[in-house]
């Protein structure tokens, strides 16, 4: 494996990596940046041209990866408020979650917007969202399933990057903890969407008939959710 990093206007650093087993150019955009996997025989200039050709898509994907700055007093989920607490040099920087607050300690020589403080705030906020999701979503799922006569076998709460939820062939439903950042009508839509999959495992006409029968606003809510990404401040 060999590679190099180039800088492109409008994108920033791009990593070009050659693999002996690669048979084609492959592009990926993650929180760690833009990466192109290339066959060993491909010139780096071809990788650069490939990136430029897909620059609009890359910029859209990079925008999705941007983590917003978390601020004091910000509401996280349904139950929590974020608070930064300045501490002295001899105190340990840490973070913790109560029933209503996310508390993040900040060193004397840093501000709440510094990278290290933001990482502590983000990590603590994820813990808070998971607690909220585990407390609030399973009962909501049970209630909506009972109302609409649906059955499922199990429910899991996870941090998902792209999807708000999923349902597998065993009728196990997974719900994204970032759902707690959405309004309740959108949360209910996602839950009903997954419940509809307990009988229709695709997105064909029968699926949409089933889902629309449970929620007449399903199509509208689906379109609204397309503009939101699973993250804090979704």
Within 13 A of 68's CA, how many CA atoms are on the CB side? 12
Q: What is the model's pLDDT at position 1?
A: 63
Residues 152 and 207 grouped into a single domain = yes
Residues 167 and 183 grouped into a single domain = yes
Residues 83 and 53 grouped into a single domain = no
User: Where does a domain end: 12, 38, 65?
Assistant: 65
pLDDT band at 66; cut points 50, 70, 90: low
Q: 206 in a domain, yes or no? A: yes
Indicate the number of domains in the chain: 3
pTM of the model: 0.75
Q: 232 in a domain, yes or no? A: no
Q: What is the model's pLDDT at position 32?
A: 67
Residues 186 and 114 grouped into a single domain = no
Give residue-wise pLDDT tens across range 128-181.
999 999 999 999 999 999 999 999 999 999 999 879 999 999 999 999 999 999
Q: What is the model's pLDDT at position 229?
A: 83
Higher pLDDT pick, 65 / 127: 127
pLDDT band at 22; cut points 50, 70, 90: confident
Residues 168 and 209 grouped into a single domain = yes
Q: 159 in a domain, yes or no? A: yes
Residues 6+ apart with CB under 8 A from 216: none
Cα gap 145→162, rounded to integer Å:
24
Q: Which residue blocks in the chain are alpha helix, DSSP H?
A: 44-53, 55-65, 115-148, 184-196, 205-214, 218-225
* Averaged pLDDT of the chain: 92
Angle at 169 (CA atoms; ends 164, 170), nearest 5 degrees: 100
Residues 144 and 203 grouped into a single domain = yes
Residues 81 and 144 grouped into a single domain = no
User: Where does a domain end: 65, 95, 115?
Assistant: 65
pLDDT band at 188; cut points 50, 70, 90: very high
Residues 50 and 90 grouped into a single domain = no
Residue 164, domain CATH = 3.30.2010.10
Q: What is the model's pLDDT at position 76?
A: 98
Q: What is the model's pLDDT at position 29?
A: 85
Q: 148 in a domain, yes or no? A: yes
Mean pLDDT of 8-34: 84
Q: What is the model's pLDDT at position 31?
A: 66
Neighbouring CB atoms inside 10 A of 143's CB total: 12
| Percent of the chain topping pLDDT 90 | 68
Q: 28 in a domain, yes or no? A: yes
Give residue-wise pLDDT tens across range 74-130.
999 999 999 999 998 888 889 999 999 999 999 998 899 998 899 999 999 999 999
Q: Which domain holds residue 21?
A: 2-65
Q: What is the model's pLDDT at position 49?
A: 92
User: Where does a domain end: 20, 45, 65?
Assistant: 65
Q: 233 in a domain, yes or no? A: no
Q: What is the model's pLDDT at position 8?
A: 83
Q: What is the model's pLDDT at position 58?
A: 86
Q: 230 in a domain, yes or no? A: no
Q: 234 in a domain, yes or no? A: no
């Amino acid at each position: 494996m060999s590679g190099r990093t180039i800088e492109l206007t409008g994108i920033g650093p791009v990593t070009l990596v050659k693999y002996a087993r690669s048979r084609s150019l492959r592009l990926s955009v993650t929180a760690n940046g833009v990466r192109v996997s290339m066959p060993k025989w491909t010139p780096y200039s071809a990788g650069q041209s490939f990136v430029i050709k897909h620059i609009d898509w890359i910029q859209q994907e990079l925008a999705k990866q941007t983590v917003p700055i978390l601020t004091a007093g910000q509401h996280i989920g349904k139950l929590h408020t974020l608070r930064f607490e300045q501490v002295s040099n001899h105190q340990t920087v840490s973070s913790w979650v109560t029933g209503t607050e996310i508390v993040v300690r900040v060193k004397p020589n840093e501000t709440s917007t510094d990278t290290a403080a933001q990482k502590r705030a983000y990590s603590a906020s994820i813990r808070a969202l998971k607690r909220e999701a585990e407390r609030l979503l399973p009962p909501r799922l049970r209630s909506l399933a009972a109302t609409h006569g649906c059955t499922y076998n199990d429910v899991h709460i996870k941090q998902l990057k792209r999807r708000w939820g999923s349902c597998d062939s065993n009728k196990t439903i997974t719900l994204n903890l970032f759902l707690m950042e959405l309004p309740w009508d959108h949360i209910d839509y996602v839950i009903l969407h997954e419940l509809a999959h307990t009988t229709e495992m695709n997105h064909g006409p029968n699926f949409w008939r089933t889902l629309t029968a449970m929620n007449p606003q399903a199509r509208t809510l689906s379109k609204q959710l397309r503009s939101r990404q699973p993250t804090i401040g979704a």
